[in-house]
Amino acid sequence: MNRIKKLAAGLNFAAGAWTVAVVLWLTGETALCVNTMTGCAPQSTYAWPNGALIVLGILLALDSVACFRGFSFSYPLGAVLSVLVALLTANGWAGWTGLAAPFHVSLFIVSLLAFVFNLVAILSRERMPEQGNPLNLPVFG
């Protein structure tokens, strides 16, 4: 695994953990719903995007484990998940005021960085040194 792929895996974990931390800290939601007498009711009017961001953050952190294990599907999946996090974060751009604004901006930037590094990791190839190339056989005769 080359440096770019390691960096992409690390950024996936950072973006996933930061997504979950920011959503839970800023919204104060510890569960996706509140149990009521009639069933499960959302905690706030923004429960759907927050719940989706929590799920995407967890999936992005789990995807980093797959990246470190070397699975080929993990980098495209990480790119898709990080774009979804960025889109959902940008969807609430108008509500970014006060003390929460830097956290939203940092979440948007980290998810975009994870997307870019996942794209670079998809396009990067492992290079074989000259001595290790199987076509570099000794010539007899």
pLDDT tops 80 at residue 10: yes
Q: What is the DSSP string of 18-71?
A: HHHHHHHHHH--SSSEEEETTEEEESSTTHHHHHHHHHHHHHHHHHHHHHHHT-
- Strand pairing of 33-36 and 39-42? antiparallel
Residue 139 belongs to some domain of the structure? no
What CATH number corresponds to the domain at position 89? 1.20.120
Asked if residue 104 has pLDDT above 80, the reply is yes
Stated pTM of the model:
0.75
What does the alpha-carbon distance between residue 16 and residue 94 come to, in Å, rounded to a whole number?
Answer: 23
- Of residues 13 and 39, the one with the higher pLDDT is 13
Tens digits of residue pLDDT in 81-94? 999 999 988 887 66
Q: Give a yes or no: residue 111 inside a domain.
A: yes
In a domain, 12, yes or no: yes
The secondary element (H helix, E strand) that includes residue 123 is helix 101-123
Strand partners, 81: none
In a domain, 141, yes or no: no
Tell me the per-residue pLDDT of 118-135, one tens digit each, with 9 for 90 and over: 999 999 877 666 666 667
Q: What phi, psi does 140 have (nearest 5°)?
A: -105, 140
The total of structural domains in the chain comes to: 1
- Of 28-32, 70-74, 105-109, 112-116, highest mean pLDDT: 112-116
Domain region containing 63 = 3-31+42-123
- CA 49/CA 12 separation, integer angstroms: 20
Phi, psi at residue 135, to the nearest 5°? -85, -5
